[in-house]
Amino acid sequence: MSQHPTSDAAVTPAAASDAAASVAGHASGGAPLSVHGDRHFDGLADKFSASLYGHLRGELRLSLLDRLLPEMLDLDGQPVLDVGAGLGQQAQWFLERGHAVTLAEPAGEMLDRAREAIDAQGVEASRVRYLTSPLQDLAGEAPGPWPLVVCHAVLEWLGDPRAAIDRLAALMAPGAQLSLMVFNRDALRLSNVVKGNLDKALEDRLEGKGQRQRLTPISPLTHDQVMAWTEAAGLRCEGVAGIRVFHDYLRQPPQNDNELDKLVALEHAYCRLDPHWRLGRYLLYTFRRPADPEGSPSPRDGGADTREETPT
């Protein structure tokens, strides 16, 4: 296994939680954070949509998820809780495949956009529910327990991502799966080095401050943190993949369709292979809550699908 710098590799759950709280405190000076120290996207729906889904990076993310979710999840039409549903792209994906979906999104403007998009699909009202709620409120508003919980690109915007994992685990039924995607701190460091931001990388000043309309996450996470916190929450890792393992390090974007096709092929070919998945801008995981309360502990680095190279 490749080693993180000591400050990441040696992290304990308690120390990591303290670090997350420190990040939130640093970000709070004048920043539009919630009472929990989280970054919500009220008033930023247009920027969020244009920044992420108006570019190739958004198309690649959705393309990879379209392939990876059926590979990494046991999908049989079970109800889905989509935590931090955003503009509803992922909810739409599950609705198209016959699932009933509850969308929980604290930013009302984002949830309204999701509702508009889903209504345009003609989805039966009985199959979809909308909650303008943060994760902290879901134990009371959507307790489940749920057979499938989806939480994509949310933890990096929270003041205490470790506590969020405990909350997600509490929403899961025995035997349930969690599809978790997080913004990769190590990839953010590498991206800064590639761009020439050497001082920022050396000083580990990678977190955003949550101010104005900037979209740098306030709590980017390492793989080691995710594995330590989920193991402590009693979850077992069943698979991991990298989302955009090459695209974000290109010196220039693809110049024609032929180059784009080659890039897409590379992303799909290497997204689950070690060491390439570790470079993903996002890390996509499948975790399971064991049906047996005495469930066997997960390996420190999790376990990828046996058809792929095991991350060690």
Domain boundaries, the chain: 6-288
Strand order in the sheet with 80-83: 128-131, 101-104, 80-83, 146-152, 172-183, 282-288, 236-243
Buried b (16+ CB within 10 A) or exposed e, 98-108: ebbbbbbbbbe
pLDDT the model gives residue 56: 82
Is residue 5 pLDDT above 60, yes or no?
Answer: no
Helices and strands, counts by H and E, the chain: 12, 7
User: How does residue 214 score in pLDDT terms, banded at 50, 70 and 90?
Assistant: low
User: How does residue 221 score in pLDDT terms, banded at 50, 70 and 90?
Assistant: very high
pTM: 0.80
Contact 2, 275 (CB under 8 A): yes
Q: Can you tell me the distance from the alpha carbon of 231 to that of 12, in angstroms, rounded to the nearest whole number?
A: 12
* CA-CA-CA-CA dihedral for 219, 220, 224, 229, to nearest 10: 40
Token couple for 69: 């979710």
Helices 13-27, 223-232: axis angle to 10 degrees equals 120
pLDDT digits (tens, 9 = 90+) for 126-150: 999 999 999 999 999 999 999 999 9
Q: Can you tell me the distance from the alpha carbon of 102 to that of 131, in angstroms, rounded to the nearest whole number?
A: 7
- Please state the rounded mean pLDDT for residues 155-171: 96
The helix/strand/coil state of 174 is strand
Buried b (16+ CB within 10 A) or exposed e, 264-275: beebeebbbbbe
The reply to whether 85 sits in an annotated binding site is yes
The reply to whether 152 sits in an annotated binding site is yes
pLDDT the model gives residue 204: 87
Q: Can you tell me the distance from the alpha carbon of 240 to that of 301, in angstroms, rounded to the nearest whole number?
A: 9
- Please state the rounded mean pLDDT for residues 8-12: 35
Nearest to 225 by CA among 161, 297, 150, 151: 161
- Per the model's pLDDT, the better-predicted residue between 185 and 25 turns out to be 185
Is residue 6 pLDDT above 70, yes or no?
Answer: no
The reply to whether 234 sits in an annotated binding site is no
- Per the model's pLDDT, the better-predicted residue between 298 and 57 turns out to be 57
Q: Which fold has domain 6-288?
A: Rossmann fold (3.40.50)
Mean predicted lDDT score pLDDT of the chain: 83
Bridge partners of 101?
80, 128
The reply to whether 269 sits in an annotated binding site is no
The reply to whether 231 sits in an annotated binding site is no
- Please state the rounded mean pLDDT for residues 148-170: 96
